[in-house]
Amino acid sequence: MLLGVIADDFTGASDIANTIAKGYGASAGLSTTQFLGIPDKPAPADCEAGVVALKTRSIPATEAVAQSLRALTWLREQGCRQIVFKYCSTFDSTPEGNIGPVGEALASALGAKGVIVCPAFPGAGRTLYQGNLFVGDVPLNESSLRTHPLNPMTDSDLRRWLRLQCREPVGFVPWRVVRDGGNAIRNALDEASRQSAVLVVVDAISDEDLLEIGAAAAGVPLLTGGSGIALGLAKNFAAERVAKPVGGGFEGVAGPEAVLAGSCSQATLQQIAYHAQYHPVMPIAVEAVMDGALDVHAVTDFVLAHVGEAPLAYSSDTPEKVAALQERYGRETVAGHLDNLFAAVARKLVSRGIRRLVVAGGETSGAVVSALDLDALTIGPEIAPGVPVLTNRAPLALALKSGNFGQRDFFERALALMEGKQPEGGMLT
C-alpha cells in the first residue's frame, strides 16, 4: 500500500476514496479500498490506497486521537509511504474537538511539522481564501453550517479555530504564495516548520491550486484536508512508476432498494422534497421515536411494502425544529436514539433482501455501516462529486452521502447507478 487515509466519518471516507480512485485529468487513480473501521488483517495485495473509515468526528477528542493513532499503526504496517487525515470540507468541528488534536497527534507520531491543512473542495463549492473557508460565495459562519446540529461552525477563519484546539503554533500559506506553484508552497511550509508550526492552513480556490498543493506534498509523511487534497496525490506515485492504472468495469447490483436519510442539511432537505413528488416517503417523527411510539418494525414495514418504488424514510428536519427537539430531550440522547433506529432498520432490511441502500448523513451512515458489520468496500462509479457507489461481496450496493452533497435527484440517480444504469439530471444548485 502506498497511500493511507484516516477519515473521521464514513461518508467522508467514501468521498476521498472516490477522489483517489478516479484520479484527475490524464492522471490515473490508484487501486483503492475503503475499510470500515480498523482492519484486523492485512490489506489485499492489489490495494494501493487504503481509506480507513472511523466515526470520530463528534466524539471526545481523546477518543478520536486514540482511534486515529491505532489506524495509523495499521496503515504503517501495510507499508504506506504517506498518510492523509481526512475531515469534512466544511471543517465540522467545535472549539474542543477534534481536527487539531488528531492532526497534532498524527504529526507527532510521524515526526512531521509544517503539515498542510486544506479542507477546500472547489468542485463542491468549498474554497479557502485568507485562511477563511467559504461555502459557495459566503463565509462558512454565514452558511447553513452555522446551525449544524452537532458541530455548528460559527467562525470561518480556520486559523482562529485551530488555535482554540492546538497546543502548537498554527501557520498559514496565503493564496498569493499558492498561485506561484508547488515549489513556492513547499518553501512556505518549510519556513512555517522552522517557526515551529505543526499545522499550516493553506489557501486554495481552484482545482489547479489543489494540484499544486499536491505537488508540494510529494514525499511528505502527512497532510490533512477534505477530499480535494487528494486530487494530485495519485500523480505523485504514478510519476515514480509504482502505481498501476485502475481497471475493471462496474457490473451493477440488482435487487430491492431503500433510502434512509438522517441529515438535516439544506441540500438533503431539498432532495427529500424532490423525491417525495414521485416516490413514497415516510417522515420519522423524533417525538414518536423518543416516546417509543415508532419503532423499527414500522419503518421496515413501510419500506418493504413499497419495494420497486424507491421508498424513502427520513428523520431530517429544519434546524429550528432540530434545535427545539435537542432542547427538549438532549442533543446526545436524540442522536443516539435515531442512530440506533436507523442501524436496526438497515440491519433488518438487508436481512429481508434489500440489495441497494442509499444513506444520507455522516452520522447516520456511520451507524448504518457499523450495524451491517461490513469490513471493506470497493469503489464504483461516481454518483455526484464526492459520492461513489460502494459494493461488497454480498452483493450489496451502498451510497453514503454527506448531507450537503449531491444533485436534486440524487436518490434516484444513486439507485439507478447502483443497478448499472445511466441516469440523467442536473446538479442541485
pLDDT, tens digit (0-9, with 9 covering 90-100), for 376-385: 998 989 998 8
Looking at domain 3-239, its CATH superfamily turns out to be Putative sugar-binding, N-terminal domain (3.40.50.10840)
CATH tag for 257-418 (out of 3.40.50.300, 3.40.980.20, 1.10.1660.10, 3.90.930.12): 3.40.980.20
* Cα separation, 210 vs 175, whole angstroms: 11
Strands 49-53 and 32-36: parallel
Predicted structure pTM score: 0.84
Cell numbers of 100, please?
A: 487539531
Q: Which of 190, 185, 189, 186 is nearest to 200 (CA)?
A: 189
As a whole number of angstroms, the distance between CA 264 and CA 7 comes to: 21
Query: Residue ranges per domain, the chain?
Result: 3-239, 257-418
Neighbour count for residue 294 (Cβ, 10 Å)? 17
pLDDT recorded at residue 146: 65
Per-residue pLDDT of the chain (429 residues; tens, 9 = 90+): 999 999 999 989 999 999 999 888 878 889 899 999 999 999 998 899 999 999 998 889 999 999 999 999 999 999 999 999 999 888 877 778 899 999 999 999 999 999 999 999 998 889 999 999 998 888 877 876 666 666 666 788 999 999 999 999 999 999 999 999 999 999 999 999 999 999 999 999 999 999 999 999 999 999 999 999 999 998 898 755 455 544 456 889 999 999 999 988 889 999 999 999 999 999 999 999 998 899 999 999 999 999 999 999 999 888 788 888 888 888 889 889 999 999 999 999 999 999 999 999 988 998 999 899 888 998 989 998 889 999 988 899 999 998 888 899 999 999 999 999 887 654 333
Task: Work out the burial of residue 59: count CB atoms within 10 Å of its CB; fewer than 13 is exposed, 13-18 middle, 19 or more buried.
Answer: middle
